[in-house]
Structure 1
């Protein structure tokens, strides 16, 4: 796989050494057991896969290269390039400006742009409507495009099944930048609807089965279906794709459920299923799959708590938190500064969108065992900083350097 020129500030000698060692031992990526870092009074079980993915490194390389090669030019990002505050703040510090926030609210009016301005498309991609808006201003919309190839793969799959007269069902968060982009590209080819979870998928299934009156459809799925969508005709043939960072088990469950609805509603034999349900297979990206599988493997080990590092608006990170929460106390942090002391931690409750302050989060035992992972947009340098901060509470921070020397 291609390697990228990512700023050294995001790299970590400790994490790089660990990842390189694991890669030598497991080139086929079949071993999802964590790496055990035994520092005496504290033991850290580090997930097999975590941190920057291909799409994120690609986006960072393009964005920083664009800044370096265009001194004196005004450079804009449509919105956050990735969902990590440290990376986005570094770009802001270098003079890049955001045109919109993550919800799509305009921060700088289109009228303020000039034809010679640079506009970078973030890793989530963008809508066809915004591409046309930029082109109308004389700005080549895809000249500085950091859209993740795995996001584009979803668009291609949606187009393929749309061209075969299937309606596209997108499993994603309706307000997320990636889902908005996927919805835009898909609806250009075929009727499209977004379902955010299994609960909404079940409701959609009730419309397909005729158990809900079709006149209720527009209110139930308001803002989540393409213009002119007709549930009477557009739910006859369907296929499921997804926002690439969703929980893999949920996407699979939704696809399986919708498939079964079509089988029961239209009395399909196994051979006839493709007449009504498109085989889209899995459209999650490899990093989402690997990171979630690594957390599942990590959770098989005994531990006292889990710490997940990443941006608070990061979809893929929040799903890692969800997995950990099912098994043990889990703390979602964005930086080592939130590890206030051995007894106090500031962390995020993404379910209720609020910052929490917890005392006595580290188990009063020796050794204390911590599961540790991070999202796909989190720099490895932050993970190392978290490890060193934890070690400092036990007076063994020097052991991180000793560990590097041993690898």
Structure 2
């Protein structure tokens, strides 16, 4: 039946071929037309899927906190006035986003003090107060626009939890268990967007990218949400970490180091979660070990080695060292934070590798030695 169908299609193409055009040219023309139509439908489908997810996000936020969005509620103003929010304590209670970052990646996630004072004295804008304390920079690129919906949703989710804990809002987080797919899809969308950013970075880095990273880190370190996110999105988070590691290893552009340092910082921030740190260490150890073996083999055979990968491997060593140091500083974490098999494989004959590479590659050998010291000290402890 399949052969007959193909034969019938071939006859139909030949019969409908316009004069002056060969069969091959006509088939290529038809293939191009079908491909363009498929691409158009695919784009439309992606837009519709994004809109459906946005509506699910809004619905979930309304279920968790009915007063989340009050613009269209006629009785909202009366209800909000009954909250009796203390203006002086309100701004002091919303100090930060819950994400402690270094100075080069810091941002004001909750706006300026003047925004709070203005909203305190403006009754008409009080119904939009939740949106006012969660500003996002205006997006100027398509890559930023793809991140807007998940970042806004997750940021709102985090702030609703904080406000509910402080008695400012009433929220029912049991809805998270019933609609876990929305959070999972939102986190996946955020991770995919960050991967696109880091795969083809533009300079200077937008502060919006920093906001997206800090929202992600706040989510995975939050006491209420971290277990839920890890349970539903662990595989996606692992894939995200693998992608970032490969970007660090494979990127060869001349001006790559600013972007690679940003990726390294993101991975270190993800390591603040103990479970993700364990997974990340397990991913980094074999990559560093494999390159050390390849470099040793190239050195012994006097063969060429990948200079770009050699330069980039130092970033992985720095990340690995930082994660192991963080692990050592947390006395309440068990010494088997990274899997024993991974440590054994990494340390196997490592002294010999360091010895053979120390003359030609002293800096890389030093990093290997420092990582081995941290692993051995953890094992001893």
TM-score by shorter chain over 0.5:
no
TM-score (norm 1): 0.25
Question: By percentage of residues, which structure has more helix?
Answer: 2
TM-score (norm 2): 0.26
The structure in which a higher percent of residues are strand is 1
Bigger CA radius of gyration: 2
Task: Select the structure with the greater relative contact order (CA < 8 A; seq sep ≥ 6).
Answer: 1
